Amino acid sequence: MSVTLSGTQVPGNAVGAGVVPDKAAMLPLVETVLSWDLNRGSLPEVDVSLDLVKAFTAYGRVLEGELAAVCRRLPARSDLRCGPQATLSEAARRLYMPPPGCSEHGAAHRAQNLARLIQALLRGTGSAAPAPADEGTV
């Protein structure tokens, strides 16, 4: 079974199936959720938002582990480590919160917050890796 969110087809295995979706499945969902206007317009059904919260939480925990591994490889006092460490702290707080209430607005708001966190974790895993050194430098 699949669901359509704002024109984006969500495969049944990406939402609510207990399987951690991959990056290719998650990026369109993140963009769709971030396009929701929570102040006007129709909000998705609570079940859809809660399924997305579950999927984002599962994927966020995978990314959290990847970012933690990247941070462990960086020198402790490196400036490259500051941003990713802050993202990890935020992930530790947001990814382990209890499920939101049953209101459409509350569930959609949590889904948007987790979508932003997914973006930050993806940025962190891409930007935290040290740049390769030039061979001609000392």
Q: How many angstroms separate the CA atoms of 108 and 50, rounded?
A: 8
In a domain, 36, yes or no: yes
What is the per-residue pLDDT for 69? 93
Any domain includes 136: no
More confident residue, 85 or 1: 85
Q: Is residue 119 part of a domain?
A: yes
Domains of the chain: total = 1
Which comes out higher in pLDDT, residue 3 or 75? 75
pLDDT in tens, 73-131: 888 888 888 888 999 999 999 999 988 877 899 999 999 999 999 999 999 988 444 44
Domain membership flag for residue 132: no
* pLDDT confidence bin for 13, thresholds 50/70/90: very low
Exposed, middle or buried by CB within 10 Å (0-12, 13-18, 19+), for 1?
Answer: exposed
Whole-number pLDDT of residue 79: 87
3-state helix, strand, coil in the chain (%, to 5): 60, 5, 35
Provide the domain limits for residue 41.
Answer: 3-127
Residue 135 domain flag: no
* Per-chain mean pLDDT for the chain: 82
- From residue 116, give the alpha-carbon distance in Å to each of 2, 45, 79, 123, 134: 23, 20, 23, 11, 34
Residue 48 pLDDT exceeds 80: yes
49 falls within a domain:
yes
pLDDT for residue 53 is more than 50:
yes
Whether 53 is covered by a domain: the verdict is yes
Q: Is the residue at 58 inside a domain? A: yes
pTM for the predicted model, two decimal places: 0.78
